[in-house]
Structure 1
Amino acid sequence: APAPPERLLTALLDRLPAAAHGRGCGAESLLDDIVLTHSLFLPTERFLQQLHQQYPGGPWGPPPARWEEGSGLRRKRAVLAVLLHFLETYKGLLQEEESAGKVIKELYLLIMKDTSLYHELEDEIIKLHQLVETVELKVADETPPPNKQVKPLFRHFRRIDSCLQTRVAFRGSDEIFCRVYMPDHSYVTIRSRLSASVQDILASVTEKLQYSEEQSARGDALILVTMASSGEKAVLQPSEECVFTTLGINSHLFACTRDTFDSLVPLPEEIQVVPGDTEIHRAEPEDVANHLTAFHWELFRCIHELEFVDYVFHGERGRRETANLELLLQRCSEVQHWVGTELLLCEGLGKRAHLLKKLIKIAAICKQNQDMLSFYAIVIGLNNAAVSRLRLTWEKLPGKFKNLFRKFENLTDPCRNHKTYREVLAKMKPPLIPFVPLILKDLTFLHEGSKTLLDGLVNVEKL
C-alpha cells in the first residue's frame, strides 16, 4: 500500500521478520525494490539514518524496555537484513558517498558490539563484517585511501590496448586523461574527474595554456564546445557535468573564445575519408563476432543496475554515476555507424556484396553467442537508408543470405512492443547481452506513465 517516504522503511522492517518465517509474501521483492530505488524519494544518507534509528537500543532508537519480549530481536534481525542487502547492492558505489559511509560505520559498530545477536545471527554478523571490508569502509581508523590510478578514457574504442585490457567500472570520482582541442587542431591533455563540470575542465585547460586573468577580463574567456565530424557544434554551459561520456560518435571537445567559435572546423581525419579496403575484408566472420561479444561483455558487466535507475529516473546522483551505461550506448551507436561506413567506403560491386554477406554472417554468429546488442547494432546499421539504397549490391547477395536477413528484420521489428525479440530473449539462458536501449525504453515508459508520489505517498507499484 502507498506510504509516506518517512514511513516506508518502517513498514518494510515490520514485514521482514514475517518473511523470515514464510509469512511475508513479497517482502523480499519489496526489500530489493526499496533498496535500489530509495533515492527517488529519500536521500541515501536520510535512508540510512532512518535505518539506524530503527535499531533497538541504539543512540537514536527506542530503549529495549519499550519493546515486547522477542520483538526487539526481530527488529534487529530486520535492520541487519536491510543493511546487508544495501551493502550487497551498492558495494563499491559507497566509496562515492562519504556522508552515507559515516552512518553505515556507526550502525556497523553498534551491531558488532551487540552481544545479543551473536548466538542467533552469527552467520549474518560474519557476512556483515566481510561486506564492510569489501566496500573498504574504514572503521578502525580514518586514514585517507591511497591515490587512485588515473584511467585513460577510451571513448572511441580505437586503441588496441583498450580492447585487450580487462575493463573496470568507471566511477564519477575516477580521474581520467582526455584531450581538449584548440581552433588550430593542436590539443592539451588534461587530468580530470569523470564527473567534472565544464567549469572545472576549462580551469584545467586554462592552467595548461597559462591563460592569464587579464585575457579573461578582456572578454577572451574560453568556452567549451562539442564538435561533431559533420561540423555541428554546441556550446556547453559551465554547470554541465559528465560531458566526457555524453559526447556523440566522432565528437570532440574544443576550447576557444567566442570570437573564434564560428571558425571551428572538424579534425581533418574526421572529414577526409578515403575509400578502400580495411581490416574487415581480411578478417574471418567468427573472429569479428567473437571479438565484438567479448568486448561488449566487458562493457556490460561493468554496468551497475543502479545506473539504469539514475539514467532514467534521475535520482539524487543525477547523471554522475551512469558512465558505464553511457559508454555501452555509445558503443552500440558506433557499431551501427561502423557497419554503414564500411559498406559505403567499399569500392567495387563484387567486394561490396561480399562484405554485405560477411556482415550478415557476423550478425548471425553474434545472435548465436547471445550477444543481442551486437546483433541489433549490425542489423540496424544494415537497415540504414544509405545502405538500403544500394540496390545492385542487395540484388547480388545470395538468396540464402537474403532470407536470413529477412528473418533478422522480423526479429528486430518493433511491432507489438518488440514481441518477437522478447520471446526469443525469454528462451535464452544467461550469460547473455540484451539490447540495452530497449530496457531503457521500458523504464522510461514506466517512469513517465506513473507518478513516483501520489498525494505525498510513495507509489509502491511503480517500484
Structure 2
Amino acid sequence: MIEKGEIFFGFSAVIFRVHCADHTYCTLRFPLEAPAALIKRSAADKLGLKQGDLLLVEVKSTGERIIIPDRRTCVATGLSLNGALFISPKEHLDALTPLQEQMGPGVMDGTGSFLESVSSQELAYWLTVTDWEAFQCIHPVSGGSLQRDFAAKAPTWSFAQILNVAFIVMGFNHCYELLYKVLEGESLSGQPMTGNLDVFIRRTSELQYWAATEICLATNLSKRSALMRKFIKVAAYCQEYGNVNGALAIVSGLSTPAISRLNHTWEKLPTRIRKVFGELEGLTDPSRNHRRYRMYVGTLKPPVIPYMPILLKDMTFSHEGNQTLLDSLVNFEKMHLLAQSLRMMRACRARSWEIPPPPSTKSEAEVRSYVTSLHVIDCERILNQMSQRVEPRR
C-alpha cells in the first residue's frame, strides 16, 4: 500500500501483492531498496513455485507486459498507474492478463454527483495541498552510492561516477531522485532511490485520466458538459494556486482523443470557458521547445509545482543528447544543463505553500479523502470505446 504524502527512504517498507497467471496472489512487505530478485524469490516461496526461470513482470491494464530486471529497486512504487505485479515462468509469459480491478471504475461508479456538490476552487485547493505534499517528498538523497563508485576507481568510469565528481565541483553535495530516474539504465552501485518521484509521476497520470474517466462515464450530455466545465475551472484554479503540474495534467486529460472528439459536449460549453481552456492548452504546446510553458513558469514566484513531464524530458535530453566526455575530459556543459533542472526544482520549493482554504461546501476530510483516492481508467482503448458509446460517430 502506497500512501500519498508519505516520504519514502530506501529502508521504508511497503506492502504489495504479487500475482500468478490465475490471479491468485501473495502479500509481501519489503523495503524499497530490496532488489526485484529478492522479491521474486520470496514470492516464489510463498506461492509454491519452483525456483528457476521465473520472471517478475508488471502487467498494465492494456495487457502490456514489462519484465522487471533483477537489480531494479523501488519495485512497488515504480509500477505505472493501475499496473500490477506478476510472477511467471518465462514460457508462460503470454498467459498473464490484467486483473479486473485494473480496468478502473464501471459505468455506475462515476463520481459526477460528488463533483457537482463541491466547488471548483475547493477541489483545486485540496488537489494542490495533496500534490504539494507529494512534490515536497521528492527529496535530495545521499550521493553516497555514487561516491562509492568514484572511490572504487574502476578502470572505466561510468557516467554516474563522472557525474558525482562534476556535481561536487559545482557545489552539489547530493544526488537527487530526478538524477537517479534519468540514470535508470546506468550501472549504479548501492540502491538508487526514486520512490517519492515514482509516486509523484503516477499522481500526474492519475489526474490526467481522472478527467477523461469521469467525462466518459457520464452518459447524459448536459451532465457531461457540466463535468467538462468543472474540470476546466478546477485546472484554472490549480494554475492560480501555483499547481502547474495539476493544471496541465487535467488539461492533457481533456486533450486526449477520447475527449477531444466529443463535439456535442464541447459545443455546450460557454465561450468564456472554452477560452480559458484554450489558454491553458496553449501552455502544453511543444513547439519551440515548450517556449510558452517556459516563459510562463519563468514569471512565477515560489511556491510552484512545475510540470514534471517537461522537467524529466529536459534532464533526459541533457543526458542522452550530450556526450559525457569530450577528448577524455568531463563535459561540464552537460553537467550544467542537468544542474539547471535541479536548481529550477529547488527554486520552486524555496518557500512553503501556506494558503488558507476557500469557503467549504463539504467537510475537509470528505474532499481530501476523495482527491487522494481517485479511481480511473488508464486504458486508451477502453476510454475510446466509452467515448464512442456516449457520442456515436455520425
1:176 to 8, 14, 17: 14
- Name the aligned partner's letter for residue 365 of structure 1: Y
Once the two structures are TM-superposed, the CA of residue 258 in structure 1 deviates from its matched residue by 4.3
Q: 1:62-461, aligned counterparts within 5 Å?
A: 152=1, 154=2, 162-163=3-4, 166-168=5-7, 170-211=8-49, 215-216=50-51, 222-258=54-90, 260-271=92-103, 273-276=105-108, 277-278=110-111, 279-305=114-140, 306-313=176-183, 316=188, 320-461=192-333
CA, structure 1 residues 319+335, in 2 after alignment: closer, same or farther (shift >3 Å)? farther
CA distance in 1, matches of 2:242, 2:9: 28
What SS does the corresponding residue of 2:77 show, helix, strand or coil? helix
Q: CA deviation at 1:437?
A: 1.7
Deviation at residue 425 of structure 1 after TM alignment: 1.3
User: Does structure 2 retain, via aligned residues, the 8 Å contact 1:194–1:242?
Assistant: yes
- Per the TM alignment, residue 176 of structure 1 is displaced from its structure 2 partner at its CA by 1.7
Matched residue type, 1:205: A
Residues 248 and 281, structure 2, Cα contact 8 Å, conserved in 1? no
Distance 2:280 2:239 in 1: 10
Question: Hey, what's the Cα distance between the residues in 2 that align with 1:282 and 1:322?
Answer: 37
Unaligned segments of structure 2, at least 5 residues: 141-175, 336-394
Task: Map Cα deviations across residues 201-229 of structure 1 (whole Å, 9 max, x no partner).
Answer: 11111232355xxx44xx6x543221111
Paired with 1:195 and 1:268, the residues of 2 have a C-alpha distance of 29
Supply the AA of the counterpart residue of 2:138.
Answer: I
CA drift of 1:259 comes to: 5.5
Cα distance, 1:260 vs structure 2? 4.5
The answer to whether the 8 Å contact 1:310/1:319 transfers is: no
Partners of 1:404 and 1:459 lie apart in 2 by 43
**CA separation in 1, counterparts of 2:183 and 2:58?**
26
Question: Across the two proteins, how many residue pairs are aligned to each other?
Answer: 295
Contact kept? 1:311, 1:318, Cα under 8 Å:
no
Aligned to 1:9: none
Cα distance in 2, alignment partners of residues 462 and 260 from structure 1: 44
Note the C-alpha offset of 1:373: 0.4
Give, in whole Å, the separation in 2 of the partners of 1:411 and 1:334: 20
Partner amino acid for 2:22? Answer: D
Offset from partner CA, 1:56-115 (integer Å, 9 cap, x none):
xxxxxxxxxxxxxxxxxxxxxxxxxxxxxxxxxxxxxxxxxxxxxxxxxxxxxxxxxxxx
Native 8 Å contact 2:14 2:76 kept in 1: no
Cα distance change of structure 1 residues 389 and 325 upon mapping to structure 2, 3 Å threshold: same
Deviations 1:360-393 (A, max 9, x none): 0000000000000001101111000110000100
* 1:196 shift after superposition: 2.3
Residues 245 and 284 from structure 1, CA distance in 2 versus in 1: closer, same or farther, beyond 3 angstroms? same
Separation in 2, partners of 1:445, 1:273: 36
Higher helix share: 1
Distance change >3 Å, CA 259–CA 313, structure 1 → 2: closer
Per-residue CA deviation, residues 423-445 of structure 1 (Å, 9 max, x unaligned), is 22122111111112212222223
Equivalent-residue separation in structure 2 for 1:440 and 1:265 (angstroms): 30
Q: 1:272 to 1:454 in 2, by over 3 A?
A: closer
- Structure 1 regions of 5+ residues with no counterpart? 1-151, 155-161
Offset, 1:451: 2.3
**Kindly tell me: are residues 392 and 317 of structure 1, through their superposed partners in 2, closer, same or farther at Cα, counting changes over 3 Å?**
farther
Percent same amino acid among aligned pairs? 40
How many angstroms does 1:449 deviate by? 3.4
Q: What do you get for the CA RMSD once the two structures are aligned?
A: 2.3
Shift of residue 297, structure 1, vs aligned partner: 0.6
Q: Which amino acid aligns with 2:333?
A: E
Matched AA of 1:308: L
Name the CA shift for 1:192/1:273 in 2 (closer, same or farther; >3 Å): same
1:310–1:317 CA contact under 8 A, matched in 2: no
Q: Structure 1 residues 260, 341: CA separation in 2 closer, same or farther (over 3 Å shift)?
A: same
What residue identity is the alignment partner of 2:314? D
CA contact (8 A) 2:132 2:305 kept: yes
Which whole-Å deviations, capped at 9, do the CAs of 1:253-297 have from their partners, x for residues lacking one? 012334654333221233374214413343321222112111111
Equivalents in 2 of 1:272, 1:334: separation in Å? 11
User: Secondary structure at the residue paired with 2:16?
Assistant: strand
